[in-house]
Amino acid sequence: MSAIVAFDLGATSGRALLGKLRDKTITVEELHRFPNDPVHVGDRLHWDALRLYHEMKQALLKAKHQGVVPESVAIDSWAVDFGLIGKNGELLGNPYHYRDSHTDGMMEQLFTVVPREELFARTGIQFLPFNTVFQLYALKRADSPLLREAERLLMMPDLFRYFLTGDMHAEFTNATTTQLYNPVADDWDRDLIGRLGFAEDWFVKAVKPGTEAGRLRESVRRELGLPAIPVIAAAEHDTASAVAAIPAAERSFAYLISGTWSLMGTEVPEPVLGDQALRFNFTNEGGVGSTFRLLKNIMGLWLLEECRRDWEKSGLRYGYGELMDMAGNAPAFPSLIDPDDPVFLPAGGMTERIRAYCRQTGQLVPDTPGEIVRCIMESLALKYRLVLEMTEKLSGRAFGGLHMTGGGIKNEWLCQLTANSIGKPVWAGPAEGSGIGNLAVQWMAAGAFRDIWEARAAIRDSFPLRTYEPADRDVWDEAYGRFLRVTGLEHEKWRDGAAG
């Protein structure tokens, strides 16, 4: 039996999973779970990187205490954020959180140096205000001393891997999210980096998923009493790992990774870089097996999580099940929002932001928690339909259903609403998609799986899927038309009568 460990770090929590493989059957046990709470210091919002690293070591100790010495370990995490390493090899400051406000207005300023169309043509990455390129440009515009002292830039999983091994490598799937990597040249875009005033030396060579990128360094071995365990550069962007775990049998499939963020798209052999992809603000991020993830970010369950925080501050503590029950008893479709409106990006005051949006768009203003949650859930499901239609248009494919994975599939009502909205079946599972994909890539590196398709077959046989069939098509068609009008997305004439 092969036993390995996957560190799966999300925007709100981290977990270490112990994966075991016997006769192509995968079992997964949660070794350790820990919070990932950002920290406000003055006006800045940071990740508590050293605390996360400490928790990762605690997980390795828990495995050891169970009598397990992992054959390998690997890390996946969110994208875009990074740590800077100085000449002494130490971390310079606490990494900024992607929701920090220091990137406000940076997109527009950077476009005066590199036009929007050129930046997309070079990188194929969608425009989000917190992308790595805009974070770095914000530091440069602020004349940050961090940049003057920096010798290397490491994305978050690269940083934790460096802490464990002492070796510095970038990893392909996460490097592509920076908007500084050229997917056609398969390398950092040196010309772009120079034009923006960044140092080429910051960017270390990117290795492909499944590469051994070091072994536990001596200081870690002494501290934990462990041998020189290989540390694999898996698909280190958590979405890349989640897509690797999609239990699809067909080569052409659509997926929705549901969690704090929702990410919807398909797997393609080459990046899609045309004008329509730019207009839809889609992204082309690296995947496993020399593929690309043609996808679009959607705000996701962040909206619900922030509302829960608002209610908790008022002394109202609601469980997810309780909120879904209240939402299910609220009227259907009284008010709708565009989940991706920039007003919903910052933390804090989400319930009032939703009310203000509905007020400004001339709709009924949701008042009770049930009404607000219903507004969020129905709006997400309708946005999924729009993005699925866009994905079909860009890829030239028609999908028979939607694979849905991630923690959001535990919300059975959202899965059913999604099936109703898209008018196609939703196949939900597995919930721990990112961690399972991380494990699968490690086993591919060890030769236990020939390729990603053999790994997906094992995942399909090891974890149950639940199918949600669509219902109430006429009701949802009417709601979709109203959603497009209310949100201002009706002007998207990209459909040209071919979809929807």
Helix orientation angle between 412-422 and 473-487, rounded to the nearest 10 degrees: 90
Dist. CA 74–CA 164, nearest whole Å: 10
pLDDT of residue 322: 96
* Backbone phi and psi for residue 240, each to the nearest 5 degrees, phi listed first: -60, -40
Handedness of CA 447, 453, 456, 458 (dihedral sign): negative
Dist. CA 181–CA 179, nearest whole Å: 6
The dihedral region occupied by 499, where left means phi > 0, alpha psi between -120 and 50, and beta the remainder, is: beta
Dist. CA 33–CA 66, nearest whole Å: 16
Give the DSSP letter of residue 427.
Answer: E
- Helix ranges (DSSP H) in 264-368: 275-280, 302-313, 320-328, 350-360
pLDDT of residue 1: 73
> HSE on the CB side for 114, CA within 13 Å?
22
Q: Domain residues of the chain, as ranges?
A: 2-238, 248-428+470-500
Longest dimension (CA), the chain: 65
* The residue to which tokens 């070796």 are assigned: 167
* The residue to which tokens 């479709």 are assigned: 333
Q: What is the pTM of this model?
A: 0.92
- What does the block give as tokens for 153? 């830039």
pLDDT of residue 451: 96
Q: Which residue among 238, 310, 338, 340 is the active-site one?
A: 238
Cβ neighbours of residue 115 under 8 Å, at least 6 residues apart?
none
| 248-428+470-500 has the same fold as 2-238 | yes
> What's the topology of domain 2-238?
Nucleotidyltransferase; domain 5 (3.30.420)
Dist. CA 267–CA 432, nearest whole Å: 19
pLDDT of residue 447: 97
Q: Are 24 and 14 in contact (CB under 8 A)?
A: no
Residues of the chain with pLDDT under 70: 491-500
Dist. CA 448–CA 442, nearest whole Å: 9
DSSP 157-206: HHHHHHHHHS---EEHHHHGGGS-EETTTTEE-HHHHHHTT--GGGBPPE
The residues with which 35 forms a beta bridge, in sequence order, are 13
Q: Cβ–Cβ contacts within 10 Å for residue 310, how many?
A: 18
Q: Of the candidates 321, 374, 334, which has an alpha carbon nearest to the alpha carbon of residue 486?
A: 334
**Strands 206-207, 262-268: parallel, antiparallel or unpaired by DSSP?**
unpaired
pLDDT of residue 491: 65
Cβ neighbours of residue 483 under 8 Å, at least 6 residues apart?
336, 379, 382, 383, 386, 489
pLDDT of residue 347: 87
Q: Is 238 a catalytic residue?
A: yes
The residues with which 85 forms a beta bridge, in sequence order, are 91, 152
Helix orientation angle between 320-328 and 369-395, rounded to the nearest 10 degrees: 90
* Backbone phi and psi for residue 86, each to the nearest 5 degrees, phi listed first: -90, 180
Measured in whole angstroms, the distance separating CA 91 from the mean position of its chain's CA atoms is 24
pLDDT digits (tens, 9 = 90+) for 20-47: 999 999 999 999 999 999 999 999 999 9
- CATH of span 248-428+470-500: 3.30.420.40
